Structure 1
Amino acid sequence: METHESRVAEEPDPSRLSIWSRQRQVHIQDMSAAGPEGLMRRHLLRYPGSLIFNLGAFFLPALYNTLSKLWVANIDSSQVVLTDVYTYIGIIAEVLNDAFPRSAWHVIGDKSTRSVRSRFNLGYTLMVATATQGFVLMIVFLAYPQSLASAFVPEEVRGISLTYVRLSSVQFLTSATEAALSSSTRALDNPDVPLIFSSAKFVINILLDFLVISKFHVTKQNPTIVSQAVVRLVCDIVSVVAGLSYFLLIVARKVKNEPVGREHLNIGVSAFMTLLKPSVYTFTESTIRNAIYLWLVNRIVQMGETYATAWGVFNTIRWGLVMVPVQALESSTLTFVGHAWGAFRASAVTSYPRASRQDILSEFDTGEE
């Protein structure tokens, strides 16, 4: 005999369904909006449009990494290997940047059971938490650059590397902010934000490199490897500021369209705990993967400057030809998988549903409207 408790347990949560219904209405309005802005939203809400934006966002940094090696080679070919320190710092930072930011896809990307304000609160919390981690690492390596130099700089050029390592250590903070901002905005269907700060960084980098460290430099002093590090530092900071400024404009516009409720845009412990639980798995995976890679790099660096330089050149080519399309495909796919998971949760009869193979295949059959 069916009890009242069993009937209640089988009924979906009305509050979740109301959010789902409201988000579906917003989605339909975005897809049917007229004008240039409506056209932009329709592209961003579809997989091909998202993929194009993500390709641009990942391609520009890869292109600059190649160009920067050419600039430095014109200064002193023996110091090209130092530019890879910036890459290796990014890999160390990636251990933390893959933790909270990678949980954004199915948490912040859940637009069916979470309101716009709730998703933005999670985005704010994600940025602050990740930037705090990056700031702590930056302080540590600014104080002790020798440990990083001994691990990833060949002995032949280690004496001039400490200043370069210190300047590159600021990347811990800037890359953490970029990773959180990129993951949050992509999960919020705004892949144009990462493209904005990637474009800003690329344009400013090329301009300053041409003026400061190229053969046509306008400064009286001859450029050095430190000049390239300073240029990169300035561009990293400017691009983060540009991305955050653009993001705030998007936030203001989206929240303005959201119906007035009790939720406010803030950073809270509850939002942090929501992000923390799934981040444990992504942090563990990232730690193991990047630890193996850094061990491999350390072994190559210990073989000498020639091997380290060859590895850096190969890695730059591999990144441009292979990793740019792979990362763009991954980011776009994870965004829409997060949306589909949220829609599945909203239509389920329990708060923590388990998807069967038939449920997953049905998502591929129906797709996003």
Structure 2
Amino acid sequence: MRPFTYTSAINKEQALKATTKTSHYLAGGTNLVDLMKEDVERPDQLIDVNKLEYKKITKNDNGGLSLGAMLSNSETANHPDIRKQYPLLSMAMLSAATAQIRNMASNGGNLLQRTRCPYFFETSMPCNKRQPGSGCGALNGMNSLHAIFGYSDSCIATNPSDMCVALAALGAKVELEQPGGSSRMIEFTDFHRLPGDKPEKDTNLEEGELITGIHLSEPVFADHYYYLKIRERSSYAFALISVAAGLQVKSGTITKAGLAMGGVAHKPWKLYGSEEFLKGKKPNQSNFEEAAEIAMKDAKPFEANKWKVDMGKKAIVRALTQAFEREV
């Protein structure tokens, strides 16, 4: 690990004032510190934000809840209001990592997780995300676990978060504080970005911005929901493919659907076409299969990860079926 300076901020003003081009905010550190140890991340300064006030879950003006960015994943997932009103989010968060990591990891930090691509972690290998201009080792290398949507020749890595897939399905928003003293709100689906020719930039955060909250609109999928995570083992493993599915069903008809996938793109992959197709349809096997076909029709797999297309279809059907049957 390389030398760095450490600042413990006591309020947001101090945290924002202390930022530089080479500084990182530090909350749980479950991803950042590991990357620093591997010499992948090389910040000159860490700004500890654990003393900041953003550790509560509160009601917001949209009839939903706002999640403090410094609140731990465990505290969020197990909060009574989250379990009751947003069980899809709770289910996704509790499927992530291990209890020990969830106890440390923060909500804001979860949004900033870096990819688990082995070429990104191995500093002797080319990786445009880690070292822009060096090339993408996975493009013509080992890419069986890589993206099938939204990638570019610069990067074919995937986003590893479970929480973020559920937030995409739920239509969340992210609140950001800026160094100049202003704040802004960004749609969750606009928070992460596709690699394009700048794969080193995972999000649309501007320099020095601090995540302070995640805003959920009023709950609509509290009765019919499911988070399906397909992985190589039941713990300590990231998703090969995941699906967050929420359905609002009235009088035997789907009135609203929330669908997103993980493990298939550089960002949580929102299934807009499938959501639109399901509105007004009956929640049955035939319609779920059609929604899956729509979701995967634009997939562009590599030879080594063609299996993701077929698995993705089956995962969507299964998640939707489980969501409909999982009435509480």
Q: Under a length normalisation based on structure 2, what TM-score does the superposition of the two structures give?
A: 0.21
Greater percentage in helix: 1
Between structure 1 and structure 2, the one with the greater Rg is: 1
Bigger relative CO (Cα 8 Å, ≥ 6 apart): 1
Greater percentage in strand: 2
Q: Under a length normalisation based on structure 1, what TM-score does the superposition of the two structures give?
A: 0.19
